[in-house]
């Protein structure tokens, strides 16, 4: 409990009192915690207007002769027609005015370049009309981490607003030193190239919010260029946290030895406070490549089939308008190429 006098006054009156200092520090910590909770909590009670729309039921009248979407997608031709339509002071049909784009979310790829190619072959190359989010852990473990990350960076440069890369726990120096990426980069390029990758990784964001209601990765926003991400006191929880396997409520010690596991009550509370519908996370191997848990509020997507030469697994992505966890397809494909040990990586099969 805090003392009756304001803690700061007690410390001023008795500057050498160790107990007074401890109580002041305790109270100061509580004040900061309450301020943080108020900052991330939303006071808004209204849901998004998008929730009230039923685009599929909207009919297009026979007399409408204006621009129409080609296969439900916005094209350059559509935009030219739209500009001319507006120039002639006409109105776009409301069915097309409310059109929302699809987005594809991929989980861990871990240097499995040929499985990355399978994603693009089955789901289409990234483009302005086919946006992607890759949810971290692009490198380590697999033999082609350099090819994976350079391909992903290339698409990020080509489509900066439609191709998004989030940082995982393997986009860190200490993991890269143990699980192969550092050795692979030095074997294929130079130590300077690895230092450049390391610097770029520090600037990657840790989360993405889709349509204001779907969070990809469980964390509050933190500034880029963050300190050692595997330090639990900094951003360790963001990169290492996981859901509780047994569905137990509350938080518990993680099996990885870093950060903690969270139960369905934690997920539910977080979503309610931040006006979100559900969470998409990765960082955890699943036999079918994905799993829907916590009453449909927490979706895990893992896109590296046959990870670490384990039993055959599938590699999925989650694609759709993200109105609910299962609105979009969760597609899977079998692992399609033989594994090889990454350059410079010990033959280890520790936890991902």
78-99: pLDDT as tens digits: 878 877 776 676 766 666 665 5
Please indicate, yes or no, if residue 318 is contained in any of the structural domains: no
Give the residue-averaged pLDDT of 32-56.
Answer: 63
Residue 73 in this model has a pLDDT that exceeds 50: yes
pTM of the model: 0.61
Phi, psi at residue 109, to the nearest 5°? -115, -30
Number of domains in the chain: 1
pLDDT value of residue 176:
93
pLDDT value of residue 329:
44
Residues above pLDDT 70, as percent of the chain: 62
| Average pLDDT in the chain | 72
- What Rg, from alpha-carbon coordinates, does the chain have? 24
Kindly give, in sequence order, each residue whose CB lies less than 8 Å from that of residue 90, ignoring residues fewer than 6 positions away: 66
Give the residue-averaged pLDDT of 37-45.
Answer: 56
pLDDT value of residue 296:
85
Kindly give, in sequence order, each residue whose CB lies less than 8 Å from that of residue 212, ignoring residues fewer than 6 positions away: 48, 275
At residue 135 the predicted structure's pLDDT band, cuts being 50, 70 and 90, is very high
- Starting at the edge strand that comes first in sequence, how are the strands of the sheet with 242-243 ordered? 242-243, 260-262, 251-253
Residue 284 in this model has a pLDDT that exceeds 60: yes
Task: Confirm if 171 and 137 have CB atoms less than 8 A apart.
Answer: yes
Residue 281 in this model has a pLDDT that exceeds 80: yes
DSSP β-ladder status, 290-293 and 298-301:
antiparallel
Please indicate, yes or no, if residue 123 is contained in any of the structural domains: yes
Specify the range with the lowest mean pLDDT, choosing from 114-128, 159-173, 229-243, 258-272: 229-243
Q: Where are the beta strands (DSSP E) in the chain?
A: 103-106, 132-135, 163-166, 208-210, 214-216, 242-243, 251-253, 260-262, 278-281, 290-293, 298-301, 314-320, 330-334
At residue 227 the predicted structure's pLDDT band, cuts being 50, 70 and 90, is very low
Please indicate, yes or no, if residue 70 is contained in any of the structural domains: no
Please indicate, yes or no, if residue 82 is contained in any of the structural domains: no
pLDDT value of residue 266:
85
DSSP β-ladder status, 163-166 and 103-106:
unpaired
Q: Mind listing the pLDDT tens digit for each residue in 119-133?
A: 888 888 888 889 999
Residues above pLDDT 90, as percent of the chain: 8
Contacts by residues 72-80 (CB-CB < 8 Å, ≥ 24 positions apart)? 72/99, 73/101, 73/129, 74/99, 74/101, 74/129, 75/129
Q: Rounded to whole angstroms, how far apart are CA atoms 234 and 236?
A: 6
Which residues form the catalytic set? Answer: 170
Please indicate, yes or no, if residue 46 is contained in any of the structural domains: no
- Residue 118 DSSP code: H
Estimate to the nearest angstrom the gap between the alpha carbon of 140 and the chain centroid.
Answer: 18
Q: Rounded to whole angstroms, how far apart are CA atoms 306 and 19?
A: 56
Burial class (CB in 10 A: 0-12, 13-18, 19+), 275: middle
Task: Confirm if 133 and 166 have CB atoms less than 8 A apart.
Answer: yes
Please indicate, yes or no, if residue 313 is contained in any of the structural domains: no
- Residue 228 DSSP code: -
CATH code at position 204: 3.60.21.10
Q: Rounded to whole angstroms, how far apart are CA atoms 73 and 69?
A: 6
Q: Mind listing the pLDDT tens digit for each residue in 292-338?
A: 888 888 888 888 887 654 433 445 555 555 555 555 445 544 544 44
Phi, psi at residue 105, to the nearest 5°? -110, 125
pLDDT value of residue 23:
80
Per DSSP, the three-state class of 113 is helix
Give the residue-averaged pLDDT of 197-211.
Answer: 88
Kindly give, in sequence order, each residue whose CB lies less than 8 Å from that of residue 336, ignoring residues fewer than 6 positions away: 114, 115, 118, 305
pLDDT value of residue 182:
94
Residue among 270, 306, 282 at smallest CA distance from 168 = 282
pLDDT value of residue 264:
86
Residue 352 in this model has a pLDDT that exceeds 50: no
Per DSSP, the three-state class of 33 is helix
Q: The domain containing residue 151 runs over which residues?
A: 104-308+330-334
Please indicate, yes or no, if residue 60 is contained in any of the structural domains: no
Q: Mind listing the pLDDT tens digit for each residue in 183-192?
A: 998 988 888 8
Kindly give, in sequence order, each residue whose CB lies less than 8 Å from that of residue 169, ignoring residues fewer than 6 positions away: 136, 137, 175, 229, 230, 239, 240, 283
Q: Which of 131-135, 229-233, 339-343 is modeled with the greatest confidence?
A: 131-135
Q: Mind listing the pLDDT tens digit for each residue in 168-182?
A: 989 999 999 998 999
Specify the range with the lowest mean pLDDT, choosing from 5-9, 235-239, 287-291: 235-239
Please indicate, yes or no, if residue 109 is contained in any of the structural domains: yes
């Amino acid at each position: 409990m805090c003392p009756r006098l304001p803690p700061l006054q007690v410390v001023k009156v008795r500057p050498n009192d160790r107990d007074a200092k401890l109580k002041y520090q305790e109270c100061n910590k509580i004040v900061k915690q309450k301020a943080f909770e108020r900052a991330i909590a939303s006071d808004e009670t209204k849901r998004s207007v998008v929730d009230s729309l039923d685009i599929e039921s909207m009919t297009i009248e026979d007399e409408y002769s204006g621009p129409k979407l080609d296969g439900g997608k916005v094209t350059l031709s559509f935009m030219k027609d739209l500009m001319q339509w507006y120039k002639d002071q006409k109105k776009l049909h409301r069915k097309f005015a409310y059109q929302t784009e699809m987005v594809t979310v991929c989980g861990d790829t871990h240097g499995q370049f040929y499985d990355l190619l399978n994603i693009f072959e089955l789901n289409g190359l990234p483009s302005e009309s086919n946006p992607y989010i890759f949810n971290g852990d692009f490198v380590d473990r697999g033999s082609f981490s350099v090819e994976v990350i350079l391909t992903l960076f290339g698409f990020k440069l080509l489509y900066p607003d439609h191709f998004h890369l989030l940082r995982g726990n393997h986009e860190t120096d200490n993991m890269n030193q143990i699980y192969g990426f550092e050795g692979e980069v030095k074997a294929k390029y130079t130590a300077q190239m690895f230092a450049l990758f390391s610097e770029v990784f520090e600037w990657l964001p840790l989360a993405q919010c889709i349509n204001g209601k779907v969070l990809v990765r469980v964390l509050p926003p933190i500034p880029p260029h963050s300190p050692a991400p595997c330090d639990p006191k900094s951003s360790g929880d963001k990169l290492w946290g996981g859901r509780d396997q047994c569905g137990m409520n509350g938080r518990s010690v993680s099996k990885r030895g870093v950060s903690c596991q969270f139960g369905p009550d934690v997920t539910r509370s977080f979503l309610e406070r931040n006006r979100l519908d559900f969470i998409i996370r990765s960082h955890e191997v699943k036999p079918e490549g994905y799993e829907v848990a916590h009453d449909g509020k927490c979706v895990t997507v893992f896109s590296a089939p046959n990870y670490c030469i384990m039993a055959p697994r599938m590699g999925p992505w989650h694609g759709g308008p993200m109105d609910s966890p299962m609105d979009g397809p969760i597609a899977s494909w079998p692992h399609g190429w033989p594994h090889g040990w990454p350059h410079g990586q010990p033959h280890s099969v520790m936890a991902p």
